[in-house]
Amino acid sequence: MYLTVSNVTKRFGTFTALDDVSISIEQGEFVCLLGPSGCGKTTLLRLIAGLTDIDSGTVSLENGVLSDLPARKRGFGIVFQSYSLFPSMTVAENIGYGLKIRNAPQEQITARVAELLEIVKLPHLADKFPGQLSGGQQQRIALARAIAVDPRVLLLDEPLSALDAKVRGSLRDEIKQLQRSLEIPTLMVTHDQEEALALADKIICMNHGVVVQAGTPEDLYHRPATRFVADFMGVSNLVPTAVIRQEMPALLAERPDGPDEQFDACIRPEKIQLAADPSGMATVRSVGFLGNLTRYNLDSALGDLVVETHGSLGITEGQKVALQIAPTDCTWVVNDGTEVSE
Amino acid sequence: MSVAETRATAPKQRWWMDSDKLLAAACILIPLIGLTLFFLYPMVIVFLRSLTTPDGTYGLGNYAEVLSSKGFWRATQHSMTMGVATTVVSVFLGFIIAHGLHRCAFRGKWLIRGVIVLPLLAPSLVQALGLIFLLGRNGLISRAIGIELDIYGFWGLLIANTLYALPQAVMIIGASLVLLDARTYEAAEVMGAKPMRQFRDLTLPAIFFALLNSAFVVFIITITDFGNAAVIGGDYSVLATEIYTQVIGLRNFNMGAVVGIMLLLPTVVSYYIERQSMKRQQGRHATNVQKFIPSFYLNRDIPMAAACFVVVAMILSVIGVVIYASFVKLWPYNHDLTFKHFNITLAGGYASLWITIAISLGAAAGGTVLIFIMALGLRKLSGGIAQAVQVLAAMPAAVPGIVLGLAYILTFNSTATPLYLLYGTATLIAVINFYHYHTQAFLTVMTGFRQFPSALEEAAGTLGAGYGRTAVTVVAPFVAPMLIAVFFFLFMRSMVTLSAVVFLTTAKLDVAAVTIMRLDDAGLTSQAAAFSTCVMAVVCVALGVMKLGLKLLSRSPKLNKAG
């Protein structure tokens, strides 16, 4: 384990922001903290950075306990959502600031700044001030500033959220490339599951101040542990055990033991096969065209279902359809009472 | 490692190990000591002295004596009448001018904007002086119409106070008008509301608290002002002049303290209400306001423009006549121009002008630094102490200058403490000027700090910068415009203030505003005018330098805030 957070608890007054949270990051790993707003993910990142005091628990790096160190002595890099470049310094001064504090010689700073400007592909902006840059450029510079000091850990606090969609996509790819080539252990906070899926080696999904599930993106998407994760990681059809037993008992094959209320079936929309069938168990309520995908909303004996197919099946509203679901495509998730969104 | 062991190592109590927190504590502590020593302590002393009876015991004897004296009740009644009358007139005119500036379309607004702040650039008694030159026995207007007006007393004081308070009213009401979003008016327009209806339904409710606020500010300014009352009040005694009479005329310090406490009461109450209504107004602040650009309506804009320019003409003539009179050979008989009045030999000549400039520079520099480090400390500290400091920092505005001045003479002219060493020094005058205007300076800097994104500070911290370094390289450049504004605010106020310093000047140490009062008292009105002109010139230069500095700052790309 490179960076370890053990049993950390943080309260703000009576509100418990983090409740006995433990996570870890391996050398060179890209970890995403994913969760809805207010789940405690930003608080966790700030605790790791040393920007907020811990109530109980520890943060340690390679067995050295960090919790006592103020942020400035931890040697981390951080990128915030926005507004974090120093407005009174040029781009070059911003990037070189950490090295200057470390009393690096001027030639070394100049060389390092030039190198980093090349890396983030903005060498022509060295003498500009932050106010003259676009949002995407500012975040690139903020990234360069964070990695200029060869940080032991790179912390990213929703770095893409303030950008518009197109810039977000390209910067996302760049962050990934950069992290892979520099192999800096990285922790990124995000509420965007697509972003987490695209970037992370490991996703830590949080809700109400606790870690709900940690694992690879594939794990979290295909094998969510709870209704909350299933719903947060994309569209899913969640069906109670009793309904499955009555309508599609074959799907019970993989179900863990436990009372009916304990587990629900989770079936991703692309895992359901549709066929027009006048005696089918479902009726098409609406059809949505999403470009490469077609989305069908069905009324069925299993309840409301969402089905997505590549291309169109030529099925229209009001038609009866038959459903086919493989038992291996049905995962069982803990029923934590989460209401399905949408 | 077990859970229990991990928990045991949880760090918390070692804040004193952290040099940043030590620095923050020092940042709070130094200004706090200053506030305690130079504000709280003198105020306690003045309170105790008001309770000290002639035989040396504590009791309410002084209060009983003051409350049974006719002079006190007359002064109180005058102060209140004057306060209410000035408030009504100033808020009304202030609203007209602010509305004209922000919601009407006509030319020449730059002139209004420029002239309206003039009274702030001059010692308060300049309005009074100007009125005497215009409407006094030898006034230009009195002589022109051939009627001898009695300008000394209620009416003269009302006009002088109104001119003095008007800029504040215009600024407060204007600030709330700027915040009105053009889109709400467009929506009302589309829904069929006529301009008058829009004014009633949209404008008035939105600026209600600003009107209230400006009313209390004007009221405080009026009842605490000393300069105008001293020069043009005549027999119309008010509380501020009553204190002066008790202390300087009758050498009765304890009675002066009693009247000071009595003057403090309405001021503190007004100030409290004003702060409350200000909070309500701030709650309405919207971000992203679409600026309203008025279009021309004949029936509205011609009368509004006329009203605005009449007021502007009055201010210009009152202040202009002082400058003019300072160059006139023998007022009012010989209007040949001359520089001879500038050859001031009485009352120490120009020595007091130079010393006032030095004092003002000191108050401005020291004050700006103190306020800056205080704001830095408050950023790091939270909880009870921070709140107490904020309350304390906001208190001096509730204390009339003349009361603070009295408190200082009672405190520093006593050999009981080593603080006596400060008595009679220019340093003490710089100190009183800073604490007199502490609140406004503090609030300005805090506004700047509130706009400072914490991400900047955290980014600097994560990069390895300590708090001291962050303060100098990141925070200070960000709040530079506020610091410049505060520096010049303190400088300009120190140049012109009279009430707080009138008790602290000595035979050897005089300041500009007091010299003007002395010259006027001695009947040397032309020389008083000349001296006023010099003070105004210095302040105008300072204002120009400030505008230039702010302009250069805002032009530099550094200040185009990231985003």
Do B26 and B164 lie in one domain? The reply is: no
Comparing CB atoms, the residue among B3, B558, B563 nearest residue A88 is B558
Ramachandran angles phi, psi of A204, nearest 5°: -110, 110
For residue B552, give how far its alpha carbon lies from the nearest alpha carbon of chain A (Å): 14
B169 within some domain: yes
Collect all residues of chain B within an 8 Å Cβ-Cβ radius of residue A98. 463-464
Q: Residue A102: its chain B contacts at CB < 8 A? A: 464
Q: What does the pLDDT average to over B492-508?
A: 89
Taking the CA of residue B9 and the nearest CA in chain A, the distance in Å comes to 7
Phi, psi for residue B452 in degrees, rounded to 5: -80, 115
First vs last C-alpha separation in chain A? 39
Tell me whether B465 touches chain A (CB under 8 Å): yes
Closest Cβ–Cβ partner in A76, A77, A87 for B562: A87
Write down the number of H helices and E strands in chain B: 26, 2
Contact of A95 with B459, CB cutoff 8 Å? no
Three-state secondary-structure class, residue B14: coil
pLDDT tens column, B80-92: 999 999 999 999 9
Range of the domain at B193: 60-338
Residue B181 shares a structural domain with residue B324: yes
Whether B460 has its CB under 8 Å from any CB of chain A: the answer is yes
Question: Looking at chain A from residue 74 to 93, which residues have their Cβ under 8 Å from any Cβ of chain B?
Answer: 74-78, 80-89
Check whether residue B376 and residue B434 sit in a common domain: yes
**CA dist., res. B386 & res. B374, Å (int):** 10
| Per-residue pLDDT at B3 | 38
For the stretch A178-199, what's the b/e string if a residue is b when 16 or more beta carbons lie within 10 angstroms of its beta carbon? bbeeeebbbbbbbbbbebbbeb
What string of DSSP letters covers B403-453?
A: HHHHHHHHHHT-TTSGGGGGTTSHHHHHHHHHHHTHHHHHHHHHHHHHTS-
Query: For residue A87, which residues of chain B lie inside 8 Å, CB to CB?
Result: 456, 477-478, 558-562
CATH number at residue B247: 1.10.3720.10
* Same domain, yes or no: B279 and B324: yes
Residue B4 inside a domain? The answer is no
> What are the tens digits of pLDDT across the range B14-49?
544 577 878 888 888 999 999 999 999 999 999 999
Residue B120 domain-assigned (yes or no):
yes
Mean pLDDT computed over A202-226: 95
| B12 in any annotated domain | no
Does residue B484 sit at the A interface (CB-CB below 8 Å)?
A: no
**pLDDT tens track for B360-375:** 999 999 999 999 999 9
* Closest to A233 in 3D by CA, of A253, A219, A250, A249: A219
Q: What is the pLDDT of residue B8?
A: 38
> Is 70 exceeded by the pLDDT of residue B6?
no
Tell me whether residue B2 is in a domain. Answer: no
Q: Please identify among residues 105-164 of chain A the ones whose CB lies closer than 8 Å to any CB of chain B.
A: 128-133, 135, 138, 142, 145-146, 149, 155
Burial of B45 (0-12, 13-18, 19+ CB in 10 A): buried
Question: Does B207 share its domain with B230?
Answer: yes
Q: How many Å apart are CA B461 and CA B24, to the nearest integer? A: 14
**Which residues from B are below 8 Å from A145, CB to CB?**
459, 463
A178: distance to nearest CA of chain B, Å?
A: 19
Task: Output the pLDDT for position B288.
Answer: 61
Q: Which of residues 12-71 of A touch B (CB under 8 A)?
A: 49-51, 53-58, 65, 67-68, 70-71
CA distance A37 to chain B (A): 18
The last residue of a domain, from among B317, B338, B359: B338
Whether B306 and B191 map to the same domain: the answer is yes
Domain end among B297, B320, B338: B338
Q: Is position B110 within any domain? A: yes
Name the burial class of residue B354, with classes exposed (0-12), middle (13-18) and buried (19+) by CB atoms within 10 angstroms of its CB.
exposed
Q: Same domain for B328 and B280?
A: yes
Residue after which a domain boundary falls, among B315, B338, B361: B338
d(CA B137, nearest CA chain A) in Å: 58
Q: What is the pLDDT of residues B273-300, one digit of tens each?
A: 888 877 776 555 555 667 788 878 888 8
Tell whether B469 is within 8 A of chain A (Cβ): yes
Distance CA B126, CA B221 (A): 15
Whether residue B360 sits in one domain with residue B446: yes
Question: CA triplet B209, B213, B214: central angle to 5 degrees?
Answer: 120
Same domain, B420 and B391: yes
Tell me, yes or no, whether B251 and B314 share the same domain. Answer: yes
A44 near A21, Cβ under 8 Å? Answer: yes
Whether residue B421 sits in one domain with residue B325: no
Chain A hits for B562, Cβ within 8 Å: 82-85, 87, 130-131, 133, 138
Residue B450 included in any domain: yes
CA separation for the pair B326, B531 (Å, rounded): 8
Q: Answer whether residue B14 is part of any domain.
A: no
The answer on pLDDT for B2 being more than 70 is: no
The predicted-structure confidence for B151-195, as pLDDT tens digits, reads as follows 889 999 999 999 999 999 999 899 888 888 787 787 777 777 878
Chain A partners within 8 Å of B477 (Cβ): 86-89
Q: Single out the residue of B160, B281, B166 nearest to residue B217, CA to CA.
A: B166
Max mean pLDDT among A87-91, A316-320, B94-98 falls in: B94-98
The verdict on B250 and B160 lying in the same domain is yes
Per-residue pLDDT tens for A109-147? 999 999 999 999 999 999 998 888 998 999 999 999 999
Please give the tally of structural domains in chain B: 2
Domains of chain A: 3-222 (3.40.50.300), 227-334 (2.40.50.140)
ipTM: 0.75
